[in-house]
Structure 1
Amino acid sequence: MRNFNLHGLTSEEAERRLAEFGPNEQPRAPPPGIFAIALRTLKEPMFFLLASAALLYLFVGDLGEGLFMVAGAGASITLVVLQELRTERALQALNRLAEPTATCLRDGVERRIPARDLVPGDVILVGEGERAPADALLIGGDALVVDESLLTGESAPVTKTLASEDRSAEFPDPGGEHTPFLFAGTMIARGSGLAEVVRTGARTAMGRLGASLAAIEAEPSPLQQRTGRLVATLGAFALIFCVLVFLAYWRVQGDWFEGAIAGITLAIDLLPEEFPMVLAIFLALGAFRLARRNVLVRRTSVTETLGSTSILCVDKTGTLTQNRMRVAFAISESDQAIDAPLADAGRRMLVRVALRASSANPVDPMDRAVHAFAAEAGVASEAVPLCSFPIRPDLLAFIQCWRDESGESYAAKGAPEAIFKLARVSDEERARLQTKIDDLAHRGLRVLGVATTAPLPQAPPPEAASFNFIGLLAFEDPLREDVPAAVAAARRAGVAVAMITGDYPATALAIARQAGINCEAGVLTGAEIAATPNELRPEKIRNMRVFARVTPTSKLALVEAFKADGHIVAMTGDGVNDGPALAAAHIGIAMGQRGSDVAREAAHIVLLDDSFASIVAGVALGRRIFANLRRALTYVTAIHIPIAGVALAPILLGLPPLLLPAHVVLMELIIDPTCALVFESQPNEPDAMLKPPHRRDEPLFGSRELWLGFVQGFVVFLTVMSVYIIDDGFGAPEPQARGLAFATLVVSNLVLALSDALPRGASLFSRDNLPFWGVAFAASAMLTASLYAPVISELLRFEPPPWPKLVLALTLAVIAGSWYGVWRRLLYPAPRAPREDAALTVDLR
């Protein structure tokens, strides 16, 4: 005989069992460690080329230069590993935020805890739209309908019944009707109840699959795949060029060693290996920054789309409003005035029936408001109802059946028109009540009707029962304080805001006006959407921004219509039936606090605080990530042009080589942290949220960015080559000319990075530029040591140039690196961003 514990475990016992059984999580591949990342990095073509150059120096050339190459390659690998670890930490932090939660009873109190902390013996609450967090026995509540297709492959859901106390806890294989066994990962399709956890973690049925699932690696995003192909193509081209330069140099100069070094140097210069690193870091850290603003990205590729959002379709309750319902007015059937006090028997009857038409364990805010209102009125809650009939699209009312001494009766609560239909209210009475409903709705209140039936020995089906109308309840849900500013910011950014709600049309319009949503076109109902042919819907909804009495089916129709009208659609949702609309939207946004597991799994983004302001801030950050990523890739292209050019041009002109592999290593030590730190940390342009969204088909790195990078890089190349040729032509020693040209290249690179990264109107010495000044200080120290430290300058074949020449060369370097940034700021001065927008984005850094 098994005695079920309906009060849950104590905290102390739960901690003991957690230590004994371990966390309730599926086996997963461990994150890559330092050595794994280093090994992966060493497989990159650039490090293969660096190793080849180092071996040539060690065994054929100068031992000192070979050791310097080895040290430089080691430093470069260390930088890459540190950046990868930083990215990995950000991804792990996101995974922790995305971990599922469960509602359990601990110390007799209902608590929401991470599902990984569940232990055998815990009592959990499960309900419609949730996944079972562990293998468990159903011990209380309704009969559940469960989708076990994840484990069995059977599409038909199965029914679960309550466990008898003498039933064995030995779990059979998944599947089978009328059993009490819930399996981790299966979806509750209908019903709610209590379950006792029996197996957790790897011991669950899902855990047996987990070991094989952990070995599956996530695929890179389409953008990462395209970038990988681009780098692979350029890598093959660089290797071919390396061989050609080696053969040409050997044939013309007769020096195979210098030819090999020249070829390897050019191949390294031509290989933009920073592209994949920049993408990985920006997407991971961008998702982490979004999570800090309570926007959890489940698919990093959506970061590219977020900045191009052109319409935000949002729920009213909990997103625009505080989701803190309270009963503002209770109006019985006989009341003439809305504001009459709650005193007579009719009103107490209204409260009692409304309480019976609410869940006994309320989760819905309106059910909680009814319970609180009943407690204030001195009406006690009763026992458990016989059965419940959930809201249906064709009947927007929640009905429960109760048994007492007089017999069985129904209590119903729902949309006034649904209650009028159930109670068969006359047209005259309906018109009288409609006046009150309109008055309440224009105040921004949500109105529900209440009805009941007379007791009968056995109640007929609800559709056949004779309901009596009892009265109306009006609920108020205050607007979130930050919503008007966020809506205004979205509209300034060219992002339309559409409010979608199940409320009465007048209520929807009142709330929309308070929020600042465009109400000029009026309101469109779900019934009108459904009645409009598919091909006419885009035109029908083109100027509409308020939608009322909307069902989940209508939500999907709205998404498709807005998409057909050319919009990039972001849609919010929280219910089980919202899954199709969330999946169909370009950006599906699930509610993290009140959303179902179905909605969260279908969505691209989970909103951790259910706040509309967080969505708008996410759009701003999406634009920032897109712009910074584009500028970083342009910079990578630009800086490789002069490096490759000054490696090749002296060979073609018959001059002594300017760049050697050791010089390229030093340049890479500057370029890598510049890409990963300087560009990623930059804030938005001041007018980023004053511009319309970019088109979704607009490439991240298109021909415009390619040509811009080429022109910027070519100007730097001409400057560096001019310094080298002029200094060499005026009789300066070759090492001095090389050192002067290298200093010009380093400084122009730093100035180019700052010029490209810095938003218009931003201060050079702001907090966001601390990474740049750190890189600049390290690069300046390295350059000074390269020119003036005898041991290092000898290894690099440099000689310190005279100060007048150095000052002139560095002045030219500043001009070559900054001309585009100066021109852009003069031609397009930065506007002043509204203070409301600054408030939205200040936390995104």
Structure 2
Amino acid sequence: MSINNFGIKGLTNDQVIKARTIHGKNRRSYKKESDLFQALKSLIKEPMVVLLLVASILYFISGNIGDGMFLSVAIILVASISLYQDSRSRNALEKLKSFTQPNCKVIRDGEVREIKSENLVMGDHIMVEEGTTISADATIIHSNDFSVNESILTGESLPVYKDANKTNPLIYSGTTVATGLAIAIVTAIGNTTQLGKIGESLESIEEEKTPLEIQISSFVKKMVIAGILVFLLVWGIHFLRFREILDSLLKALTLAMSILPEEIPVAFTTFMALGAWRLMKMGIVVKQMKTVETLGSATVICTDKTGTITENKMSLAKLYVMKSKTIVNPEGVLNDEDKELITVAMWASEPIPFDPMEKALHSAYDQLTSSDERPNFKMIHEYPLSGKPPMMTHIFENDSGHQIIAAKGAPEALMQISNLTEIQKKEITEAIHTLAQDGYRLLGVGSTHFTGKKFPAEQQEFQFHFKGLVAFYDPPKKNIQSVFQDFHAAGITVKIVTGDNAITTTAIAKQIGFRGYEKQLSGDELMQLQDSELQERALDTYVFTRMFPEAKLRLINALKAKNEIVAMTGDGVNDGPALKASHIGIAMGKKGTEIAKEAASLILVEDDLGKMVDAIAMGRKIYTNLKKAIQYVISIHIPIILVVFIPLVLGWVYPTIFSPVHVILLELIMGPTCSIIYENEPMEKNTMIKKPRPFTTTFFKWKELITSIIQGLMITLGALLIYQYAAQQGFNESVTRTMVFVVLIAANIFLTLVNRSFFYSICTTLKYKNNLVPLIIISTIGILSLLLFVKPFAKFFEFETLTTLQLSISVSTGFVFVIWYEFVKWRKRLHHSFQ
């Protein structure tokens, strides 16, 4: 029974082009502020931009036109850098958004094709099946026991049954197919769909901030408050001492600028957006930014068997025929009873198969029959996959009224509702054991007779004749053993969670060398356990068989209750709740239903679990590099703050060594380092042999914060020692300022190199491949050279060209007061090697 039997050819390519020209693409669009306007609006709210604006105005008022002009240019530079970073992040997320566009099936030129939903046109014939999201409004022309969940439009959670003969044979964009299959003609796309008409309200819903985003935002706000308090304090002290309002304001603004860590929120957005984009290039689509945060913390992965551990390439491998009580190879010579078993199994499948096992049954029927009966029969009723264990039943009828009622499903399900003796049940059980221990996936097959059309409400009310077993072989993926080894090395526990039976699952687990396959639990056993007992069993059990949606969900919640960070793979409609409940829901890009993809937070485009190893590695790398970047920001801001604050408050010989111009110059030189160099840093070699980091609510541990603070204080000490040395040598203010400035720039360069790893030595990290490191360092040295040796620049910034000795002392101080941390790292490595 193919599409041709319905007389459907669909649109031709020319008709598609014409329809698209008239009606456009199937996408919703609304009036929104331009991205540039939004970025400019957010920029105006930035504290640093506000401070620069105020400082430049004060310079102009006081008659210092040069400094006022410089700060005006600085505002443009800061704005340009922010807009550039914002643009990078936005472009990455836009690419991600387009990549996550759902696909749909369409009939064109008599063929079923899979296309992006935005490429649908008016008049297209779409094919929608269980588990898919409907991509446009359409009118049904053919359906099999078809029902739709329309809760997104109506709020009603119960499925609505529809077919071509109903008074309302319409389906709507955004709704999901609960059961069955339908073919429908598209009647509305984009903004003209029912969902499109209410879409403006959906567009206005803002994405919720992630925990890490909230923490970083909170940290920056606290620093802004600290900046305001220090600003008022310094303004007061300076005014009381010198009685000059404008000058006091400028000195206070200088300190306020040095306190603001405006690079941190920029770094966070850049790291997360570009991280998601890098994952997308690897074939891993991250739907939610918070997933990037969570990836590095995963402690448990619950993986499906079929299509995840195995190839999902089902071939009909064996038959167990009830009448003859024999196991038969379908490739050999088949008798009538063998053929009958295959035929009944085919009728129990969907008329237009999409499941690999059903495709294999239709293919086997094609090979054995000389007279194809499928065109003569029409499905008149369908019982979808249901029950525990699950089964499904199809009822077909031809023009003369002859009915075929066929069922297939878990062998136990068919055995329960078939008229079998105890001896027959024992024989079937032995056959199941024989086939399952070789790793075959088994389906029981049955048929029955029924008069009339008032079918029972439940398929289990039929009395079936058990026809036999069909066995499929789905070989394990070639790389799956090494994938599990990588997970184990990374400290991540793997659990197999499958709907298949224990014997088949054990056979496959043995084939791939899966650790702990002997520790098993079935879905029914799991549901009988008390919560406390289940939580303990969940930790030390590695194979879960005959699992159903409620059991999967309960397992995920039990693992979460034990503070595990749970990733779970899933592809079916019934996996939705568990995918949603897990910290990282993983849907398969090829075999996954749209509902599974919608519920998941991450999609593996090629259905390759090995990509999860890459995703976790990337998650750990992004998180580690973001920490390095923020630790760098904290460390480098401390000396800027204190070098401005201490001489002013203590009344040293040159109390205003740095003005707002110098602070913003330091910010412009040092600022890009954190988001440019550290975002591009490669993964450290020990990243995937560490245990997962604890998923705490705190981004920084005190130990890490103290490290950054001490590094900052050491650089401050070096800078202030040079200040005092220059003053004692009788150097003037310009020379002193220049030497302190060189110390800070040198310390910045060496800190960048030292903090590329908080474990490995600088000699190791210099070998890391990051082309941006030499580029940024050479650029920094180039800018410093211009400031020191080009007279107009030196004069403007009140610097002086240093002697070789002065320059050497300043650079050496910057080096010494940063490189000390290499000794700490050496101690760490020494301690680690003795463990």
What TM-score do you get using the length of structure 2 for normalisation?
0.93
One-letter identity of the residue aligned with 1:394: K
Quote the residue 1:386 is aligned against: 380
Between the aligned partners of 1:381 and 1:271, the Cα distance in structure 2 is 77
- Residue 29 of structure 1 contacts residue 215 of structure 1 at CA under 8 Å; is this kept in 2? no
- Aligned match for 1:81, one of 80, 83, 86: 83
Matched, 1:243 2:232: yes
Quote the residue 2:242 is aligned against: 253
Structure 2 residue matching 1:268: 3-state secondary structure: helix
Structure 1 residue matching 2:358: 3-state secondary structure: helix
Quote the residue 2:92 is aligned against: 90
Tell me the CA shift for residue 29 of structure 1.
6.0
- Aligned match for 1:374, one of 360, 365, 369: 365
Quote the residue 1:838 is aligned against: none
Tell me the CA shift for residue 765 of structure 1.
5.1
One-letter identity of the residue aligned with 1:144: F
- Residue 753 of structure 2 contacts residue 766 of structure 2 at CA under 8 Å; is this kept in 1? no
One-letter identity of the residue aligned with 1:298: K
- Residue 509 of structure 1 contacts residue 522 of structure 1 at CA under 8 Å; is this kept in 2? no
Instruction: Between 538-547 and 355-364, report the one with greater CA deviation.
Output: 538-547
Quote the residue 1:591 is aligned against: 588
Question: Could you report, residue by residue, the CA deviation over 1:95-145 in whole angstroms, capped at 9, with x for unpaired residues?
Answer: 111212211112221111111111110110112232221111111123532
Structure 1 residues 31, 603: closer, same or farther in 2, change over 3 A?
farther
One-letter identity of the residue aligned with 1:84: D
Structure 1 residues 756, 5: closer, same or farther in 2, change over 3 A?
farther
One-letter identity of the residue aligned with 2:419: R
One-letter identity of the residue aligned with 1:489: D
Between the aligned partners of 2:828 and 2:765, the Cα distance in structure 1 is 19
Tell me the CA shift for residue 772 of structure 1.
2.1
Quote the residue 1:814 is aligned against: 815
- Aligned match for 1:547, one of 536, 544, 549: 544
Quote the residue 1:741 is aligned against: 740
Structure 1 residue matching 2:469: 3-state secondary structure: strand
Quote the residue 2:824 is aligned against: 823
Structure 1 residues 494, 386: closer, same or farther in 2, change over 3 A?
same
Superposed, which structure 2 residues align to 1:197-216 within 5 Å? 197-216=186-205
Quote the residue 2:396 is aligned against: 402
Quote the residue 1:312 is aligned against: 301
- Residue 687 of structure 1 contacts residue 830 of structure 1 at CA under 8 Å; is this kept in 2? no
Tell me the CA shift for residue 574 of structure 1.
2.0
- Aligned match for 1:655, one of 653, 656, 663: 653
Question: Could you report, residue by residue, the CA deviation over 1:327-382 in whole angstroms, capped at 9, with x for unpaired residues?
Answer: 11223221535558342222111111111111111111110111222233346461
Tell me the CA shift for residue 602 of structure 1.
2.2
Quote the residue 1:475 is aligned against: 472
- Residue 238 of structure 1 contacts residue 266 of structure 1 at CA under 8 Å; is this kept in 2? yes
Tell me the CA shift for residue 764 of structure 1.
4.5
Between the aligned partners of 1:248 and 1:540, the Cα distance in structure 2 is 65
Structure 1 residue matching 2:607: 3-state secondary structure: coil
One-letter identity of the residue aligned with 2:613: V
Between the aligned partners of 1:669 and 1:31, the Cα distance in structure 2 is 30
Superposed, which structure 2 residues align to 1:675-714 within 5 Å? 675-697=674-696, 699-714=698-713
Number of paired residues?
A: 816
- Aligned match for 1:55, one of 54, 57, 70: 57
Matched, 1:220 2:209: yes
Quote the residue 1:349 is aligned against: 340
Show structure 2 runs of 5+ residues with no match: 1-5
Instruction: Between 424-433 and 101-110, report the one with greater CA deviation.
Output: 424-433
- Residue 31 of structure 1 contacts residue 88 of structure 1 at CA under 8 Å; is this kept in 2? no
Question: Could you report, residue by residue, the CA deviation over 1:614-668 in whole angstroms, capped at 9, with x for unpaired residues?
Answer: 2222122211122111221111111110010111111123232222212222222
Between the aligned partners of 2:209 and 2:528, the Cα distance in structure 1 is 42
- Residue 326 of structure 1 contacts residue 373 of structure 1 at CA under 8 Å; is this kept in 2? no
Between the aligned partners of 1:5 and 1:746, the Cα distance in structure 2 is 76
Quote the residue 1:27 is aligned against: 29
Between the aligned partners of 2:830 and 2:598, the Cα distance in structure 1 is 44
Instruction: Between 400-409 and 813-822, report the one with greater CA deviation.
Output: 400-409
Tell me the CA shift for residue 89 of structure 1.
0.5
Between the aligned partners of 1:587 and 1:105, the Cα distance in structure 2 is 35
Between the aligned partners of 2:365 and 2:79, the Cα distance in structure 1 is 67
Between the aligned partners of 2:336 and 2:25, the Cα distance in structure 1 is 54
Question: Could you report, residue by residue, the CA deviation over 1:768-794 in whole angstroms, capped at 9, with x for unpaired residues?
Answer: 421222221211111111111100111
- Residue 142 of structure 2 contacts residue 163 of structure 2 at CA under 8 Å; is this kept in 1? no
Tell me the CA shift for residue 292 of structure 1.
2.2
Instruction: Between 638-647 and 304-313, report the one with greater CA deviation.
Output: 304-313
- Residue 141 of structure 1 contacts residue 192 of structure 1 at CA under 8 Å; is this kept in 2? yes
Between the aligned partners of 1:463 and 1:564, the Cα distance in structure 2 is 37
Structure 2 residue matching 1:680: 3-state secondary structure: helix
One-letter identity of the residue aligned with 1:183: Y
Structure 1 residues 5, 708: closer, same or farther in 2, change over 3 A?
farther
Between the aligned partners of 2:714 and 2:384, the Cα distance in structure 1 is 70
Question: Could you report, residue by residue, the CA deviation over 1:771-820 in whole angstroms, capped at 9, with x for unpaired residues?
Answer: 22222121111111111110011111000111122122212212222332
- Residue 212 of structure 2 contacts residue 293 of structure 2 at CA under 8 Å; is this kept in 1? no
RMSD, aligned α-carbons: 2.4
- Aligned match for 1:46, one of 31, 45, 48: 48
What TM-score do you get using the length of structure 1 for normalisation?
0.92
Question: Could you report, residue by residue, the CA deviation over 1:17-46 in whole angstroms, capped at 9, with x for unpaired residues?
Answer: 223212211225658444542342132111
Quote the residue 1:570 is aligned against: 567
One-letter identity of the residue aligned with 2:310: T
- Residue 179 of structure 2 contacts residue 384 of structure 2 at CA under 8 Å; is this kept in 1? no
Structure 2 residue matching 1:92: 3-state secondary structure: helix
One-letter identity of the residue aligned with 1:12: D
Quote the residue 1:166 is aligned against: none
- Aligned match for 2:411, one of 394, 406, 416: 416
Between the aligned partners of 2:217 and 2:743, the Cα distance in structure 1 is 31
Tell me the CA shift for residue 259 of structure 1.
2.2
Quote the residue 2:68 is aligned against: 66
Show structure 1 runs of 5+ residues with no match: 164-176, 833-845
- Aligned match for 1:631, one of 613, 628, 631: 628
Quote the residue 1:172 is aligned against: none
Structure 1 residues 147, 310: closer, same or farther in 2, change over 3 A?
same
- Aligned match for 2:442, one of 444, 447, 450: 447
Between the aligned partners of 1:831 and 1:202, the Cα distance in structure 2 is 61
Tell me the CA shift for residue 556 of structure 1.
0.9
Quote the residue 1:362 is aligned against: 353
- Residue 26 of structure 2 contacts residue 190 of structure 2 at CA under 8 Å; is this kept in 1? yes
- Residue 388 of structure 2 contacts residue 548 of structure 2 at CA under 8 Å; is this kept in 1? no
One-letter identity of the residue aligned with 2:49: F
Tell me the CA shift for residue 538 of structure 1.
1.5
Between the aligned partners of 1:106 and 1:824, the Cα distance in structure 2 is 64
Instruction: Between 408-417 and 378-387, report the one with greater CA deviation.
Output: 378-387
One-letter identity of the residue aligned with 2:374: E
One-letter identity of the residue aligned with 2:74: G
